[in-house]
Amino acid sequence: MCLKSLKITNWIVFYFGLVGLFWQVECVDNKYDNYTLIKLYPNGIQQIEALKYLEVPEHEVEILKKSRSFNDSTDILVSPNDIPFVKQFIKDESLIYELKRNYGRMFESVERTPKRRILRGFSIYEYHSFSAIQEYIDNLAKRQSDLVKLQNLGTSYQGRRMKLVKISSDHSAQNPIIFVDAGIHAREWVAPAMALYLIHRLVNDPDARKELDGVDWYILPVVNPDGYEYTRTSRANRLWRKTRSKNSQFECFGVDGNRNYGFKWAVSGVSTNPCDKETYAGPKPFSEVETQMVRNIMMENSKRMKLYVSLHSYGQYLVYPWGYTGDFLPKEWKRLDTMARIVSDAVQKAGGQPFKVLSAGKWYAAAGGSDDFAFGAVGVPYSYTMELTNGFEFIYPERLLRVVLPQYYEGFRAFATQIKKEFCSKYIGHRCKNNSPEESETNS
């Protein structure tokens, strides 16, 4: 047996009624097997500032999440070689910390094993392959063709067909649009799972008719399907974040999609090194076909789009523009903040954890995010990045999806209620009469 790790792929073969099950075993070298996850708890501004020292490129310290508040952790993955350096740093700065050794060995390979859906059906509380997600969406659009329409967006860098899911109780009503995307970061699996759950509830739950009256939902469940599938292929790649496009000059792959949007592109919090593991902003704004698709959805629907939410993980943050700077806020920050707190309260009321609500840039400044582009370039009045879950880092256990997804759904119901209140003050039957901001302002 392979000493390092085991990858098991099961194949089901149907042949003249004979069902055979083949197991393919191969060794997968996971570089994170011997890495240590360290959670650092800063006790004040000085320690938060000191943590920046860990970002120096000469060390193999991968920052998974940055801390903003004092009861929140900065989480880092440290190679065996760099443990002495980090230990010394922790000692010098008198930091409180927790650690998990052999982090890569903890990845649950079972969550990447293809599901035998033919036999068991599709569970909304499981992680699925991109093709299974597409199949689910296609079936939904066939079964509920009045409610669900699919718009072909083209193909990802590696040729995966991408479709925007449009859910509306009246596709001709020109309602205000709530646009939700997920999975721009490949490893953040809980985000596509949430987007899919949102689609499922809006379509299948009879009570969701309220959420559909007067607003249209546009949902793109996996913005970065190539990266997503890459994280599913082996334990070694489970923590991949970027797209999978090949750099023209170097033997390096991928761009951080959430640094690639063309608003204040690359002014802060990005890497200009194409071989950088995490935050390479790309050779130019919108270099990635996947971010171009999201941009086009926003631009083509700019008048009607009133809310944009980009689903990510993790940390239980709900952040709003600006993301490119923490030095100042947009003049509309109060209404962005108020809306976010209403959503956080709704999630908490449903038994979930409240969100940490603030501007993205005050958490940490990073330019080229989709939230800033929607707000600053397209003029979407409400724009957020929602960081789902806390604990378990990017490897959120599948068994807990049935607990958290319904809680977050309550947040989306609250979003819809607020959007309707502000942009849809009059109804004709199920139709929202006033869609344009000018009209809704005079009516509110």
Local structure of 65: helix, strand or coil:
strand
Nearest distance from residue 274's CB to ligand 0X9, in Å?
Answer: 18
Smaller CB distance to ligand 0X9: residue 39 or 166?
39
Q: Residues 63-92 vs ligand 0X9: string with x where CB under 6 A?
A: --x---------------------------
Measured from the CB atom, is 203 or 311 closer to Zn ion?
311
- In the block, residue with structure tokens 């199920």: 430
Is residue 185 a contact residue for Zn ion (CB under 5 A)?
yes
- Report the length, in residues, of the chain: 444
* Closest-CA residue to 137 (of 10, 241, 225): 225
For the chain, helix, strand, coil in percent to 5 are: 40, 20, 40
Residue 435 identity (one-letter amino acid): N
Question: Which does residue 75 touch among ligand 0X9, Zn ion, none (CB within 5 to 8 A, set by kind)?
Answer: none
Q: Which of 163, 166, 185, 201 binds ligand 0X9 (CB under 6 A)?
A: 185
420 binds ligand 0X9 per the rule CB under 6 A: no
CB closer to ligand 0X9 out of 185 and 306: 185
Q: How many CB atoms lie within 10 A of CB 331?
A: 7
Task: State the nearest-atom distance from the C-beta of 169 to ligand 0X9, in Å.
Answer: 32
Q: Which of 39, 187, 312, 420 binds Zn ion (CB under 5 A)?
A: 312
- Is 312 among the residues that bind ligand 0X9 (CB under 6 A)? yes
CA count, 13 A, side-chain hemisphere, 305: 25
Based on DSSP, count helices (H) and strands (E) in the chain, helices before strands: 13, 16
User: Considering only residues 214, 254, 323, 326, which one is a binding residue for ligand 0X9 as defined by CB under 6 A?
Assistant: 323
| Partner that binds at residue 366, options ligand 0X9, Zn ion, none, CB closer than 5 to 8 Å by kind | ligand 0X9
Cβ proximity of 266 and 368 under 8 Å: yes
Q: Figure out which of the listed residues 369, 376, 381, 411 binds ligand 0X9, where binding follows CB under 6 A.
A: 369
Nearer to Zn ion, 188 or 288 (CB): 188
- Pick what 293 binds: Zn ion, ligand 0X9, none; C-beta below 5 to 8 Å, kind-dependent: none
> Which is closer to ligand 0X9, CB of 62 or CB of 229?
62
Catalytic residue among 62, 290, 387, 410: 387
Q: What are the distances in angstroms from CA 384 to CA 183, 194, 202, 442? A: 15, 15, 20, 26
The reply to whether 387 belongs to the active site is yes
Burial class (CB in 10 A: 0-12, 13-18, 19+), 124: middle
User: What tokens were used for 126?
Assistant: 């499981």
Using the rule CB under 6 A, is 198 a contact of ligand 0X9? no
Interface with ligand 0X9 (CB under 6 A), residue total: 14
For residue 281, give the 3-state DSSP assignment. Answer: coil
CA angle 97, 99, 105 (to 5 degrees): 160
Burial class (CB in 10 A: 0-12, 13-18, 19+), 278: middle
Q: Please identify the residue of the shown chain whose CB is closest to the bound ligand 0X9.
A: 323
Question: Which residue's CB is nearer to Zn ion, number 306 or number 312?
Answer: 312
Tell me the one-letter amino acid at 236: A
Q: Point out which residues bind Zn ion (CB under 5 A).
A: 185, 188, 312
Chain positions contacting ligand 0X9, by CB under 6 A: 65, 185, 188, 258, 312, 319, 323, 360, 366, 369, 371-372, 385, 387
**Hey, which residues are catalytic here?**
387
